[in-house]
């Protein structure tokens, strides 16, 4: 396993006495998900298996089991708070998710975002396998400009949706060959695409080209985040659009050129802090190499975003 906080672990009920498998599954899920209810169609010889990949930022689980219903009540939400989102995507079988008066019937090729900060019911039929990606709440609430359950189906069979499904599967297939920064970087891109899908699903499209503008701007920012002269105006000049077009395109996603540039630079710094090959780079040099004007500017923005200083995150990664 590569060095860092990235870990992979597997569990299966096949290693437990058949009479204890239902309890084992409840306890296992409870080690990395908040308090929930478990309702088994049959408690005798329950079959379930899960592969968990995680860092300090994201967690991806591929799991499969016999028929079961998961639920989270208002009491459990208060008792064990967790406002983060989960991207849920079945690989086989069917999952019915109910939350906030909405219902999403998920089959392979359809995904959904669900928050554990609100009650829900999740019914899974026999022989279902699925991915569930845990996403920090701020990664969704900011881009979607809301704090509410999102139990609507996302089409993952074409376009950006198909790319999301493919990236999730690739992240799983390459699980034994990833580092902490690599896992986080791919997860960042998946979340970015999911937010674009969700915005497209529930907001009327303004001029049709704005979606294309947003995608191009995000790619441009990723490729030029290290440039200290990168601004909304310089992007507009380089891409051949007006600054107003770029502002409108990003406004649909709940952000601005300035915020998008800062976010990409902070992610770049975070990945470098967690990379063993960059341990020799000082925080000051890292700030300048990532587009920040000074180490103090970086430290202030970094603490606001991640809750720790750059030095603290580097120490934790070690």
Q: Under the phi-then-psi rule, with left for phi > 0, alpha for psi from -120 to 50, and beta for the rest, what region is 96?
A: beta
CB atoms within 10 A of CB 29: 20
Q: Given this model, what pLDDT does residue 257 score? A: 92
> Are 7-202 and 210-317 the same fold in CATH?
no
Residue for token digits 């990945």? Answer: 271
CATH number for the segment(s) 210-317:
1.10.10.60
Query: How far is Cα 97 from Cα 260, in angstroms, rounded to an integer?
Result: 32
Q: Given this model, what pLDDT does residue 147 score? A: 47
Instruction: Please report, for the chain, the start and end positions of each structural domain, with discontinuous segments joined by +.
Output: 7-202, 210-317
**Burial state string for 34-73 with b = 16 or more CB within 10 A and e = fewer than 16:** bebebebeebeebbbbbbbbbbbbbbbbbbbbbbbebebe
pTM given for the model: 0.68
Query: How far is Cα 177 from Cα 230, in angstroms, rounded to an integer?
Result: 34
Q: H/E/C letters for each residue in the chain?
A: CCCCCCEEEEEEHHHCCHHHHHHHHHHHHHCCCCCCEEEECCCCCCCEEEEEEECCCCEEEEEEECCEEEEECHHHHHHCCCCCEEEEEEEECCEEEEECCEEEEECCCEEEEEECCCCEEEEECCCEEEEEEEECHHHHHHHHCCCCCCCCCEECCCHHHHHHHHHHHHHHHCHHHCCHHHHHHHHHHHHHHHHHHHHHHHCCCCCCCHHHHHHHHHHHHHHHCCCCCCCHHHHHHHHCCCHHHHHHHHHHCCCCHHHHHHHHHHHHHHHHHCCHHHCCCCHHHHHHHCCCCCHHHHHHHHHHHHCCCHHHHHHHHC
Residue 142 burial (10 A CB sphere; 0-12, 13-18, 19+):
middle
pLDDT tens series, the chain, 318 aa: 344 589 999 999 999 999 999 999 999 999 999 999 999 998 889 999 999 999 989 999 999 999 999 999 999 999 999 989 999 999 999 999 988 888 888 999 999 988 898 999 999 998 899 999 999 988 877 655 554 555 467 888 888 888 999 999 999 999 999 999 899 999 998 988 888 777 654 333 444 456 778 888 888 998 899 999 999 999 888 887 778 888 888 887 788 999 999 999 999 999 899 888 888 899 999 999 999 999 999 999 999 998 999 999 888 776
At the top level of CATH, the class of 7-202 is mainly beta
Tokens of 245: 């077009």
Q: Given this model, what pLDDT does residue 3 score? A: 42
Tokens of 273: 């802090």
Question: Partners of 292 in the beta sheet?
Answer: none
Tokens of 179: 């580092």
């Amino acid at each position: 396993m590569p060095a860092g906080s990235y870990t992979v672990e597997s569990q299966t009920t096949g290693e437990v006495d058949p009479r204890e498998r239902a309890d084992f599954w409840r306890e296992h899920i409870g080690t990395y998900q908040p308090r929930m209810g478990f309702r088994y169609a049959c408690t005798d010889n329950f079959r379930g298996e899960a592969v968990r990949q995680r860092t300090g930022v994201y967690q991806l689980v591929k799991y499969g089991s016999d028929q079961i219903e998961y639920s989270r009540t208002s009491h459990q939400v208060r008792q064990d708070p967790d406002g983060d989102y989960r991207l849920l995507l079945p690989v086989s079988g069917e999952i019915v998710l109910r939350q906030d008066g909405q219902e999403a019937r998920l089959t392979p090729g359809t995904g959904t975002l669900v928050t554990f900060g609100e009650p829900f019911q999740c019914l899974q039929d026999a022989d279902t396998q699925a991915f569930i990606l845990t996403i920090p709440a701020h990664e969704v609430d900011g881009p979607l400009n809301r704090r509410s359950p999102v139990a609507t189906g996302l089409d993952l069979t074409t376009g950006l949706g198909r790319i999301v499904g493919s990236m999730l599967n690739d992240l799983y297939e390459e699980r034994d060959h990833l580092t902490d920064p690599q896992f986080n970087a791919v997860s960042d891109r998946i979340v970015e695409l999911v937010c674009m899908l969700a915005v497209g699903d529930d907001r009327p499209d303004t001029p049709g080209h704005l979606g294309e503008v947003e995608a191009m701007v995000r790619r441009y920012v990723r490729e030029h985040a290290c440039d200290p002269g990168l601004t909304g105006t310089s992007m507009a000049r380089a891409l051949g659009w007006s600054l107003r077009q770029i502002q409108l395109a990003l406004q649909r996603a709940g952000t601005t050129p300035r915020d998008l540039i800062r976010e990409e630079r902070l992610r770049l710094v975070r990945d470098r802090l967690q990379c063993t090959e960059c341990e020799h780079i000082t925080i000051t040099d890292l700030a300048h190499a990532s587009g920040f004007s000074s180490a103090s500017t970086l430290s202030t923005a970094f603490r606001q975003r991640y809750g720790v200083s750059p030095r603290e995150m580097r120490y934790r990664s070690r």
